[in-house]
Amino acid sequence: EKKISIAIDGPAAAGKSTVAKIVAEQLGYIYIDTGAMYRALTYKAINHKLNLEEEENLINMLNETVIELFPGEQGQLIFLDSKDVTKEIRSSEVTNSVSIVSKHKLVREEMVRRQQMFAVNGGVVMDGRDIGTHVIPTAEVKVFLLASVDERAFRRHKENIEKGYESDLEQLKQEIAARDKLDSEREVAPLKKADDAIEIDTTSLSIYNVVDKIMELTREKI
């Protein structure tokens, strides 16, 4: 059986990581959450009080930063310079700043280089914004997940409440819309469906409906 690459792109909170994790598990593939890499750098830059608009300091910092992804029991663990930051990188401060960090060309080039190393041997499910367009343009399966802003905000709201976090639905809607706008309108590798990606609108689908569709597309290729 051939080990292929699966690229899953789409806007914020469209369920990419949930679905990607399950698909990877079913296939015995590795799962790479590329958003977590941008989040880890953003977290470190905030702690060091860098100006996030300035590319040079960010790229210098990134070049001295080790970001590692490990499979954990409750999903992927993210280590930043040997420290577990899995929880910290999901804070609203990081979430609302990450799109500023990720717009810089040199930052993206270095992140893409690292991501491509994870994918050299195939057998990966990678999720993000530019996987099908830039990171693995040769991926055998490319999926673009969509859902309305209201639906995505509602899902995130439910998830927050289940985890015992404070959550404001209206604020989530605004934050998700703002992040989509920055990610879609940036100059370098904006969020965009690859021409050969299959679009799946998940608004009225369950997680397992989406997983099944991706597994079907995958079986045609292996």
Answer yes or no whether residue 38 interacts with ligand C5P by CB under 6 A. Answer: yes
Strand-strand pairing, 75-80 and 83-84: antiparallel
Q: Quote the Cα angle for 98-77-47, to 5°.
A: 40
User: Is 16 assigned a ligand-binding role in the annotation?
Assistant: yes
- With CB under 6 A as the contact rule, the residue among 44, 104, 129, 156 that binds ligand C5P is 129
**Which residue matches tokens 């590798």?**
189
User: Is 10 assigned a ligand-binding role in the annotation?
Assistant: yes
Distances (CA, A) of 120 to 21, 109, 115, 171, 180: 19, 17, 9, 40, 29
- With CB under 6 A as the contact rule, the residue among 21, 104, 156, 179 that binds ligand C5P is 179
Answer yes or no whether residue 45 interacts with ligand C5P by CB under 6 A. Answer: no
Segment 96 to 125, residues that bind ligand C5P, using CB under 6 A: 98-99, 102
Closer to ligand C5P by Cβ: residue 1 or 174: 174
Cα distance between the two ends of the chain? 6
Residues of this chain that bind ligand C5P (CB under 6 A): 12, 34-35, 38-39, 98-99, 102, 128-131, 179, 183
Residue ranges of the annotated binding site for ATP are: 10-18
